[in-house]
Amino acid sequence: MVLEGDSFIADQYTGTKTGYVFSYWSCDGKFYFPGDEVTMGNEDMVLTAIWNPKSLHHVTYDTRGGSGFAPIQEDVRSDAVFTVKPYDGIKKGYRFIGWIYSNHVYLPGDEVIMGDTDITFLAFWTSGEVHHITYDVDGGDAPAPTQEDITEGYTFILPSYSGTKKGYVFKGWAYGDTIYRPGDIIVMIDKDMIFTAIWDVISLHHVVYDTRGGSRSAPVQSDVPVGSSFIVQGYDGIKEHYVFNGWLFKNVLYLPGDTLTMNEEDVIFRADWKSTESPSGGWQNPMLMFLCVSIIICVILEIFAHLLFKKW
């Protein structure tokens, strides 16, 4: 609830609506963009989402010398899905395989998500020629995979790669603007293909130990890659009237020697110290306390009786 005269921030909206893109919020003829500061009036406010239609883009088919007419596709809005058209034309000495766009082969019936630009599909005709496939490991420390030459229109499976590259992790193979994963099935196009290894930088995070007043320096831990495990360090420092109990992180107690997996954030361990003093100020044995109090009372009564007797 927002009080009259107070302000609030218009939220972003991550939902979707087919064929549209969220633009801003509307209320009583005024427009508010996500992040805008809005002042609360003297009545409740209802912010209504404003949606704008996504852009329409053309889909064109180029038969590259094939007989008959090229397929016709209606314009498609950005992010919408459409189905690749078939083609029954012929070309002497060639066999129709499918359509090529951005160095990728699409077969009739494949579903494609429309991007932000027009698409022109080029007919893929094969004459039965054979082409080379090369893998560029881009600095990997193991030899590149080898692949037999493939005939146009035939398929092959992308290999995995066991090599490493310091500070990076292997993610897949790139051809043109498309990234493929090991095991993907590729249709051989009408020219040689060179696949380049894609390496992602390994994200490292800090592990910090806060001794919270301990007598010795905090343990030192090397940075840890995301997804890797590390061992929680021990600590031999002391703190007067306390005993070291372990390390706290996000309200969870970890003991030296425990194994923890690094996530997408730094880890700050804080020493957990347990007091060695009794909350009652030193009276740790209730029976002892009772006995001492009883003796004190007896002494006081004896002194009082002695003074009273002396008076008489």
Structure tokens at 116: 């932000």
Do residues 133 and 189 touch, judged by C-beta distance below 8 A? Answer: no
- Which one is predicted more confidently, 239 or 277? 239
Same fold, 56-126 and 204-275: yes
Check the CA dihedral 85-86-90-93 and report its sign: positive
Residues above pLDDT 90, as percent of the chain: 66
- Top pLDDT among 311 and 85 is at 85
Sequence spans of domains, the chain? 7-53, 56-126, 130-201, 204-275
Q: Which CATH superfamily, name and number, covers 204-275?
A: Listeria-Bacteroides repeat domain (2.60.40.4270)
One of 2.60.40, 1.10.10, 1.10.3210, 1.10.150 is the CATH number of 56-126, namely 2.60.40
pTM recorded for the entire structure: 0.51
User: Rounded mean pLDDT of the chain?
Assistant: 90
122-169 pLDDT, tens digit each:
999 998 899 999 999 999 999 999 999 999 989 999 999 999 998 899
DSSP bridge partners of 57: 76
Q: Is the pLDDT of residue 310 over 90?
A: no
CATH architecture classification, 130-201 = Sandwich (2.60)
Q: In the 3-class helix/strand/coil scheme, how is 10-65 assigned residue by residue?
A: CCCCCCCECCEEEEEEEECCEEECCCCEEECCCCCCCCEEEEEECCEECEEEECCC
